[in-house]
């Protein structure tokens, strides 16, 4: 672009100079022709010619000066955009760089450490001396970081594959190539990384990997750092203080302080970290309670019992392949008890303490290797030894489940401690008993259930009969109540009659006693007469019509019944006491 502008300026300047010279020549010819036609002195001609030549020369100088000024300005300024950085590659007027040097410092030819910031820059003949390149700023999106590799600088320390980490206070300064090269910046991969944002970087010095994901430690995890670098500021005696913890199983875990090469004793808590993953390998370790399941992977057989309407039991057999559940630690563990091979589903609850996570990584590698190489083989052995001991019975896997779980857990916990993990609990699932072992018991249970069912049915039938009887009684309730009332009335009448008879008996007894006493006093004849008189009087009371008043006065010397007989003699009562042979005899008059 600059060359094109300069070419255009030179062409325009040449055209202007040609026009000025042509105009001066034309004026000169006109002056000669006029001299021929008119009488002018030679001095006048010389004066005019000299004047015209001076004017033409002055105009040419001005034009050439303007062209020169324009050329100077066009070759001496640079405009850098706001999202760019001007990179200079010096071609002229400088000393050569030293062997192995990639970035030139002041007064050296080659790619310059100095850059041009956004804005207008005026530097004499900068476009002639240097080749200028505009490079876009480095933009790091959120959740990412940028790795840096320096093409020039001091050599790395012996034994190191990465440059020393920059201090946070010097980070922006170290991005300046001049500062980097003059303040100990090292050549090669940098431990420090670019965080999210926009950065102006000398691309002659640094290569940038712009989209490296940040390291994220999620909740429930910690990050164990395996460092490939040794920080310069860590003292030698501290870096050599490696902590080695042997376990009873022979496992050995070696950890180091933060900043040293090796596995750090300090872990990364949940959060987001901007790390050079080539220099620091972060191993996430789950510190939540985990469930390791051991299930499936066997053929399960069933014998199904059916009962027909007559109560007969029949059996059929079927099979089912039980798969290993997704994510399971391993298949179910088969134990041998009383000669029976019984697959047993189970699970273990384990947890890694955050403080022990570095030792897990240092001794084994990660939690999956602990599971596969240490805990699972040990757990299989313990479970088979405890559940398959000679004194065990097959059905104890159901009836003594809690006891067996506790024994296995007690034996397994020390093995977990050896691998730096904590065994929380052991739980058994449903054992897959062979159907032949259970069919006799199932038949017995089914027979008991049938017997209980029949008893319940009988009880239900008896209850139904009682219900129907109660319903029938309810329907006949009025009649039952009436009959009951009659029965009660009859019982009352019976009791009354009994009491009446007893009263009459007592009355007659007392009367007989009185009559006996009366007879002893009055004599038998008198008592008989009194009794007859009483009967007569009672008859008269009941039948007043039989009484007739006599017109004859009866007197007698005695105190007998003559008077009464006289009174009643004319009445009908006399006929009552007569015999049948005296009824027609007329009464005697006195």
DSSP string covering 45-94 = HHHHHHHHHHHHHHHHHHHHHHHHHHHHHHTTEEEE-TTEEEEEEE-SSS
Reduce the DSSP state of residue 568 to 3 states and report it.
helix
User: Which among 51-65, 234-248, 274-288 has the top mean pLDDT?
Assistant: 274-288
Mean pLDDT computed over every residue of the chain: 79
Please state, in angstroms and as integers, the Cα–Cα distance from residue 134 to each residue in 18, 27, 175, 190, following that order: 39, 52, 17, 24
- Residue 492 located in a structural domain: no
Which range, of 82-96, 302-316, 549-563, averages the lowest pLDDT?
A: 549-563
Give the integer Cα–Cα distance in Å for 12 and 6.
Answer: 10
Give the integer Cα–Cα distance in Å for 373 and 551.
Answer: 153
Question: Where does a domain end: 162, 179, 213?
Answer: 213
Per-residue model confidence as pLDDT tens digits over 91-111: 888 788 888 888 888 888 889
- Residue 590 located in a structural domain: no
- Residue 465 located in a structural domain: no
- Residue 225 located in a structural domain: no
Q: Is the dihedral of CA 221, 225, 231, 235 positive or negative?
A: positive
What integer pLDDT is reported at residue 583 of this predicted model?
45
What integer pLDDT is reported at residue 251 of this predicted model?
66
What integer pLDDT is reported at residue 57 of this predicted model?
66
Reduce the DSSP state of residue 125 to 3 states and report it.
coil
Give the integer Cα–Cα distance in Å for 193 and 146.
Answer: 5
Q: Torsions phi, psi of 174, nearest 5?
A: -70, -20
Give the integer Cα–Cα distance in Å for 413 and 559.
Answer: 136
- Of 410, 333, 423, 414, whose CA–CA distance to 371 is shortest? 423
359's CB contacts (< 8 A; 6+ apart) are 245, 253, 255, 420
Question: Where does a domain end: 213, 232, 249?
Answer: 213
Which range, of 241-250, 264-273, 412-421, 476-485, averages the lowest pLDDT?
A: 241-250
Query: For the domain that residue 423 is a member of, what is the CATH number?
Result: 3.30.479.30
Q: What's the average model confidence in pLDDT over 337-356? A: 92
Burial of 260 (0-12, 13-18, 19+ CB in 10 A): buried
588, pLDDT greater than 50: no
- Residue 510 located in a structural domain: no
Q: Are residues 37 and 18 in the same domain?
A: yes
More confident residue, 580 or 394: 394
Q: Is the dihedral of CA 83, 84, 85, 86 positive or negative?
A: negative
User: Which among 201-210, 225-234, 249-258, 306-315 has the top mean pLDDT?
Assistant: 201-210
392, pLDDT greater than 50: yes
Q: Are residues 63 and 103 in the same domain?
A: no
Q: Are residues 56 and 136 in the same domain?
A: no
Q: Are residues 85 and 62 in the same domain?
A: no
225's CB contacts (< 8 A; 6+ apart) are 258, 263, 264, 266, 267, 268, 280, 281, 282
Q: Are residues 69 and 104 in the same domain?
A: no
- Residue 509 located in a structural domain: no
pTM score: 0.59
415's CB contacts (< 8 A; 6+ apart) are 249, 374, 375, 378, 379, 382, 423
Percent of the chain with pLDDT over 90: 26
Q: Are residues 303 and 378 in the same domain?
A: yes
Q: Torsions phi, psi of 230, nearest 5?
A: -115, 115
Please state, in angstroms and as integers, the Cα–Cα distance from residue 183 to each residue in 141, 171, 180, 459, following that order: 29, 12, 5, 103
Give the integer Cα–Cα distance in Å for 153 and 205.
Answer: 9
248, pLDDT greater than 70: no
Q: Are residues 118 and 173 in the same domain?
A: yes
70's CB contacts (< 8 A; 6+ apart) are 9
Q: Are residues 9 and 127 in the same domain?
A: no
Query: Structural domain tally of the chain?
Result: 4
**Contact (Cβ atoms closer than 8 angstroms) between residue 348 and residue 412:** yes
- Residue 564 located in a structural domain: yes
Q: Are residues 98 and 63 in the same domain?
A: no
- Of 409, 419, 266, whose CA–CA distance to 352 is shortest? 419
Q: Are residues 433 and 295 in the same domain?
A: yes
**Contact (Cβ atoms closer than 8 angstroms) between residue 296 and residue 331:** yes
Give the integer Cα–Cα distance in Å for 186 and 156.
Answer: 6
**Contact (Cβ atoms closer than 8 angstroms) between residue 210 and residue 231:** no
Give the integer Cα–Cα distance in Å for 80 and 305.
Answer: 91
- Residue 402 located in a structural domain: yes
Q: Are residues 61 and 145 in the same domain?
A: no
Q: Are residues 95 and 181 in the same domain?
A: yes
Q: Torsions phi, psi of 18, nearest 5?
A: -65, -40
**Contact (Cβ atoms closer than 8 angstroms) between residue 432 and residue 332:** yes
Q: What's the average model confidence in pLDDT over 345-373? A: 91
Q: What's the average model confidence in pLDDT over 380-408? A: 91
204, pLDDT greater than 70: yes
Please state, in angstroms and as integers, the Cα–Cα distance from residue 58 to each residue in 17, 51, 55, 315, following that order: 11, 11, 5, 129
Residue 547 sits in which domain range? 523-576
What integer pLDDT is reported at residue 355 of this predicted model?
92
Question: Where does a domain end: 213, 243, 268?
Answer: 213
Give the integer Cα–Cα distance in Å for 180 and 171.
Answer: 10
């Amino acid at each position: 672009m600059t060359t094109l502008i300069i070419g255009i300026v030179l062409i325009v300047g040449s055209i202007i100079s040609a026009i000025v010279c042509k105009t001066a020549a034309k004026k000169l010819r006109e002056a000669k022709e006029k001299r021929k036609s008119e009488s002018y002195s030679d001095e006048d001609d010389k004066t005019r010619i000299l004047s015209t030549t001076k004017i033409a020369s002055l105009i040419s100088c001005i034009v050439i000066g303007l062209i020169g000024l324009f050329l100077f300005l066009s070759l001496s300024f640079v405009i850098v955009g706001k999202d760019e950085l001007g990179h200079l590659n010096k071609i002229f007027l400088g000393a050569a760089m030293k062997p192995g040097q990639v970035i030139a410092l002041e007064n050296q030819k080659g790619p310059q450490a100095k850059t041009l910031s956004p804005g207008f820059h005026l530097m004499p003949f900068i476009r002639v001396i240097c080749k200028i390149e505009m490079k876009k700023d480095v933009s790091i999106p959120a959740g990412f970081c940028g790795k840096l590799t320096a093409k020039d600088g001091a050599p790395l320390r012996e034994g190191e594959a990465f440059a020393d980490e920059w201090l946070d206070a010097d980070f922006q300064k170290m991005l300046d190539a001049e500062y980097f090269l003059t303040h100990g910046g090292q050549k090669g991969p940098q431990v420090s990384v670019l965080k999210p944002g926009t950065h102006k970087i000398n691309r002659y010095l640094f290569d940038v990997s712009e989209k490296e994901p940040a390291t994220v430690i999620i909740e429930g995890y910690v990050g164990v750092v395996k460092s490939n670098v040794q920080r310069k500021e860590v003292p030698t005696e501290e870096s050599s203080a490696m902590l080695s913890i042997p376990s009873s199983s022979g496992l050995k875990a070696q950890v180091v302080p933060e900043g040293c090469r090796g596995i750090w004793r300090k872990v990364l808590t949940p959060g987001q970290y901007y790390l050079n993953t080539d220099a620091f390998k972060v191993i996430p370790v789950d510190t939540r309670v985990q469930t390791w399941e051991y299930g499936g992977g066997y053929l399960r057989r069933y014998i199904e019992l059916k009962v027909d309407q007559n109560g007969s039991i029949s059996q059929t057999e079927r099979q089912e392949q039980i798969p290993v559940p997704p994510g399971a630690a391993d298949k179910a563990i088969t134990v041998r008890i009383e000669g029976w091979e019984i697959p047993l589903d189970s699970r273990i609850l384990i947890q890694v303490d955050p403080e022990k996570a570095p030792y897990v990584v240092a001794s084994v590698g990660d939690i999956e290797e602990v599971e596969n190489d240490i805990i699972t083989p040990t757990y299989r052995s313990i479970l088979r030894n405890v559940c398959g001991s000679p004194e065990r019975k097959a059905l104890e896997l159901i009836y003594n489940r809690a006891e067996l779980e506790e024994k296995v857990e007690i034996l397994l916990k020390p093995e977990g401690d050896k691998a730096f993990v904590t065994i929380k609990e052991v739980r058994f699932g449903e054992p897959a008993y062979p159907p032949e072992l259970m069919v006799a018991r199932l038949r017995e249970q089914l027979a008991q259930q049938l017997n209980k069912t029949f008893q319940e049915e009988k009880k239900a039938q008896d209850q139904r009969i009682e219900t129907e009887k109660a319903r029938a009684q309810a329907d006949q309730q009025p009649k039952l109540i009436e009959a009951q009332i009659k029965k009660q009335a009859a019982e009352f009448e019976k009791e009354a009659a009994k009491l009446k008879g007893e009263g009459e008996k007592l009355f007659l007894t007392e009367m007989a006693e009185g009559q006996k006493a009366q007879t002893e006093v009055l004599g038998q004849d008198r008592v008989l007469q009194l009794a007859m008189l009483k009967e007569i009087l009672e008859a008269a009371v009941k039948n007043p019509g039989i009484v007739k008043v006599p017109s004859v006065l009866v007197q007698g010397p005695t105190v007998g019944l003559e008077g009464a007989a006289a009174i009643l003699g004319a009445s009908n009562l006399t006929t009552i006491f007569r015999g049948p042979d005296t009824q027609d005899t007329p009464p005697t008059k006195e």
